[in-house]
Amino acid sequence: MNFLEEAVSWFGKMTFGTLGLFFGGPLGAIIGMTLGHHLVDRKAEPGQVSGAPLKSEQAQAAYFVCVFSILGKLAKADGQVTGDELQVVDEFINGMRISDTEKQFAKQVFNEAKNSSYSIDDFALQFYQINSSQPAVLTSFLDVLFRVAAADRVLHPAEEAALVRIKNIFRISDKQFDDIKSVYFSDVDRYYKILNCSADSSNAEIKKNYKKLVRDFHPDTIISKGLPEEFTDFAASRFREIQEAYEKVKKERGF
């Protein structure tokens, strides 16, 4: 069972009304909208109600609600939510080992959040305020978002930009961010582009393009054309990139 599945142990231990009043801010508003009630005390500070400290159930609820709120905003990051994106989120939710009631609640949170006036940054900031002393929780949260973003094997520019903003709000280092990203997204796509190919290209097409690029950018070819030194340096760098890309693609494909 993963961290997100463990986070639903709060479900049923407290009333939804208490949740909405407890959190305030974006999370409380989304809970309120999800349930169709006005449960938000906007004067309450995130993580506090009547001076009470944040308890484990509330922390778990914040994790759960914030994940699906941010997924809702991520899906709409490029201006519209596609059927493919909805399918990815549905598959993610249905693949979790949680009850049907909890799955339905997650889907409702997703739908309410994606159409809300709150931004990804609003949700991320409130979550950070609640968990600023628990860096492991913050990195785990970012890992979950990457896992869902990787479901279609493409990290869209709007998605990556949003994830970078979340990284900055959570004060996660660039190295940690890149390490998490590398688990779900490799540089293979970049190597295909260097070879003027794609993942759908045949082995024969890749080999053909590679041979042509090697001829075009081979140092001897460049020198024989009497091109300026600046271009010669560029071509040498490009030649090394082509060689590296071909070796990486060969390894990935096993030919």
- Within this chain, do residues 164 and 245 fall inside the same structural domain, yes or no? no
Mind listing the pLDDT tens digit for each residue in 2-15?
Answer: 556 555 555 555 44
CATH number, residue 247: 1.10.287.110
Mark which of 128, 150, 185 sits at the end of a domain. Answer: 185
Torsion of CA 135, 140, 146, 151, to 10 degrees: 180
> Which of these, 219, 214, 213, lies nearest to 234 by C-alpha position?
219
Tally the domains of the chain: 2
| Alpha-carbon radius of gyration of the chain | 24
Mark which of 185, 209, 234 sits at the end of a domain. Answer: 185
Residues sharing a CB contact under 8 Å with residue 54, sequence separation 6 or more, in sequence order = 47, 48, 130
- Within this chain, do residues 18 and 139 fall inside the same structural domain, yes or no? yes
Record the pTM.
Answer: 0.63
Amino acid symbol at 67: V
- Within this chain, do residues 172 and 53 fall inside the same structural domain, yes or no? yes
Range of the domain at 221: 189-253
In eight-state DSSP terms, residue 171 is T
- Within this chain, do residues 151 and 231 fall inside the same structural domain, yes or no? no
In eight-state DSSP terms, residue 134 is -
Token code pair at residue 25: 């801010």
- Within this chain, do residues 31 and 112 fall inside the same structural domain, yes or no? yes
- Within this chain, do residues 83 and 204 fall inside the same structural domain, yes or no? no
Average pLDDT, stretch 213-220? 84
- Within this chain, do residues 102 and 222 fall inside the same structural domain, yes or no? no
How far, in Å, CA of 163 to CA of 147, rounded?
12
- Looking at every residue in the chain, the average pLDDT score rounds to 78
- Within this chain, do residues 168 and 45 fall inside the same structural domain, yes or no? yes
State the DSSP string of 66-120: HHHHHHHHHHTTTSS--HHHHHHHHHHHHTSSS-HHHHHHHHHHHHHHHTSS--H
- Within this chain, do residues 45 and 100 fall inside the same structural domain, yes or no? yes
Contact between residue 167 and residue 142 where contact means Cβ atoms under 8 Å apart: yes
Mark which of 159, 185, 211 sits at the end of a domain. Answer: 185
- Within this chain, do residues 37 and 155 fall inside the same structural domain, yes or no? yes
- Within this chain, do residues 120 and 242 fall inside the same structural domain, yes or no? no
- Within this chain, do residues 142 and 88 fall inside the same structural domain, yes or no? yes
- Between 72 and 234, the higher pLDDT residue: 72
- Between 117 and 227, the higher pLDDT residue: 117
Mind listing the pLDDT tens digit for each residue in 227-241?
Answer: 666 667 777 888 898
